[in-house]
Amino acid sequence: MEARKLLLGAILLLGLCLAANPSAASVVTSLPGGTVYAMPAVNDTGPGPETFGPGIVWSSTNANLHLNTGSVFGYTIGYGFGGSTGNGKWDAAIGPMAGLDDSFFEEGVIDTMTFTLPSPVMGVGGFMNYTPGGTTPTTIAVYDSMDTLIESYNLTFLTGGGTDSGQFLYFLESSPIIKYFTLTDNFIGITDFTTDPSVPLPGAVWLMGSGLAGLLGWRRFRKG
């Protein structure tokens, strides 16, 4: 009976710990243990869909707007982000990338690229760049399997116009709930697409689980 009370108490404490550590995304600049899934060099233009890696599906709402090409996927030819007066450009050395190829201030339409994951993950992101100075924000966001927005973030960094410059940005969750990753407006581009399905549970929860296991083990040892 005493062991049962201790077990129930530990479970209650675990529940309180989980309630005190709700799942909330944060934007980080590194994803330790993440896996990079390179896009194939297919130089596709249009809305997609395109599938790569372990069933990651890329698609875009920009089918045929800017320069009659739509968005680009697995692109290796070169891509601009405002040139020397903006955020520079990416050349072939950057590797296959995806680019929205549209902006509201040029076309009057806000478009979005979406990466749909085969199963929910804890972290997702990549190396990004965009054209600054638009009339609407450049936004990255993550959604869960119910299409509910988890978190969004507006890009504001400036590169000084260098070639192949940009910033690594990732959303990181405390549990695997990210199902969709979106990038919106201002010619935003991404390469080195990275996910991390193996981030451990929050430290407090892990320690609580370890304490529970140790408690049960101690009880068995004492009774033996």
pLDDT band for 68, please (50, 70, 90 cuts). low
Mean predicted confidence (pLDDT) in 143-168: 96
Sequence-separated (6 or more) residues with CB below 8 Å from residue 161: 82, 83, 84, 85, 86, 87, 88
For residues 212 and 205, give the distance between their C-alpha atoms in angstroms, rounded to a whole number. Answer: 11
Q: What percent of the chain has pLDDT over 90?
A: 66
Distance between CA atoms of residues 134 and 72, nearest Å: 20
- Residue pair 58/221 in contact (Cβ under 8 Å)? The answer is no
For residue 72, give both structure tokens.
């680009």
Check residue 1 and give its pLDDT. Answer: 52
The single residue listed with the structure tokens 């405390």 is 174
Task: Return the structure tokens found at 107.
Answer: 């076309």
CA-based R_g, the chain, Å:
22
Tens of pLDDT, residues 89-140: 999 999 999 999 989 988 888 999 999 999 999 999 999 999 999 999 999 9
Domain boundaries, the chain: 1-21+202-224, 25-199
Position 209 scores a pLDDT of 38
Comparing 166 with 70, the larger pLDDT belongs to 166
Phi, psi of 82 (to 5 degrees): 100, 5
| Mean pLDDT computed over 5-24 | 40
- Checking if the pLDDT of 11 tops 50, the result is no
pLDDT band at 24 (very low <50, low <70, confident <90, very high): low
What whole-number distance in Å separates Cα of residue 42 and Cα of residue 110?
25
**13 vs 166, more confident:** 166
In angstroms, rounded to a whole number, what is the distance separating the alpha carbons of residues 174 and 119?
A: 16
Give the Cα separation of 214 and 49 in Å (integer). 49
Q: 85: pLDDT confidence band, cut at 50, 70 and 90?
A: confident
Q: Which CATH number fits domain 25-199: 3.30.1760, 2.60.120, 2.40.50, 1.25.10?
A: 2.60.120
Query: What does the DSSP 8-state code read for residue 32?
Result: T
Instruction: Output 166 or 8, whichever has higher pLDDT.
Output: 166
Q: What angle do CA 121, 171, 132 make, to 5 degrees?
A: 140
Query: CB atoms < 10 A from the CB of 29, how many?
Result: 9
Q: Could you give the percent of the chain with pLDDT greater than 70?
A: 75
Task: Flag the least confident range among 71-80, 110-119, 173-182, 191-200.
Answer: 191-200
- The pLDDT, as a whole number, for residue 218 is 34
- Whether the predicted pLDDT of 2 surpasses 70: no
User: DSSP string of 33-45?
Assistant: T-EE-PPPS--EE
pLDDT at position 70: 87
Amino acid at 220: R
CA atoms within 13 A on the CB side of 151: 18
Which residues, in sequence order, are bridge partners of residue 170? 28, 125
Distance between CA atoms of residues 172 and 125, nearest Å: 9
Q: pLDDT category, 219, cuts 50, 70, 90?
A: very low
Report the pLDDT value the prediction gives residue 26, as an integer from 0 to 100: 82
